[in-house]
Amino acid sequence: MPNYRLNYFDIDGGRGEVTRIALHAAGLEFEDNRLSFPQFGEARTSMRFHAVPTLEIDGEEFSQSDAMSRYVGRFANLYPTDPLQAMYCDEVLGAYEDLTQFVVRTFGLEGDALKEARQNLMDGKMTVFLTGLQELLQRGGEYFADNQLTIADIRSFVQIKSLSAGVLDHISADFVQSVAPALVEHHNRIAAEPRVAAYYESRQG
């Protein structure tokens, strides 16, 4: 069996979390290498794109979080084999990555500049993407694709969990509920999925 090592920040959430959950769901043993921000600063230039997460498989390093979660998801039946259902899944992954990019652009701002940027985000792109993602969920029903849990659902769960935690200044914890309540309901369902719940139970051990 290959040796897996996932390199990502020492946080529960973010781009690396989907692959962590998928690895656990697949029953694949892996080294969860959690980096402090200073450790990342020291190591980043040795990484191909100067970014995390990265996944090492028998020492070979791979990047791009969606590619990693799709790869691992196949081992856990979390990525559709049907091409159309796979496209439904990929559409959700891409939309959440686009939304993440808009949020990241506000990092580093301070004071009134940050407040204005976050308000513009809520009034604009964040609302557009969240309502659009809600439409994609309503197309699928309880799940985004394949009538079962996929990495698209896990990506949404991770993202909505973060946006609803109230940790982003000037973005209220109930914002997602106000514009896309179905995504919050979906988050709650996915949190109770046995394979997702089992991962977080393992974190408490």
| Beta carbons of 190 and 196 less than 8 angstroms apart | yes
Q: Which helix (H) or strand (E) holds 12?
A: none
Boundaries of every domain in the chain: 4-77, 83-193
Q: Kindly tell me if the per-residue pLDDT of 125 is higher than 90.
A: yes
Classify domain 83-193 by CATH number: 1.20.1050.10
Length of the chain: 205
Question: What's the confidence (pLDDT) of residue 40?
Answer: 94
- What distances in angstroms separate CA 62 from CA 66, 115, 120, one per listed residue? 11, 36, 35
Query: What's the CA gap between 123 and 100, in Å, rounded?
Result: 16
Q: According to CATH, what is the number of the domain 4-77?
A: 3.40.30.10
DSSP type of residue 10: S
Considering the chain, what is the average pLDDT of its residues?
Answer: 96
44-101, pLDDT tens digit by residue?
999 999 999 999 999 999 999 999 999 999 999 999 999 999 999 999 999 999 999 9
pLDDT band at 205 (very low <50, low <70, confident <90, very high): low
Rounded CA-CA distance 94/81 in Å is 18
Are domains 4-77 and 83-193 of this chain identical in fold? no
The predicted-structure confidence for 12-22, as pLDDT tens digits, reads as follows 999 999 999 99
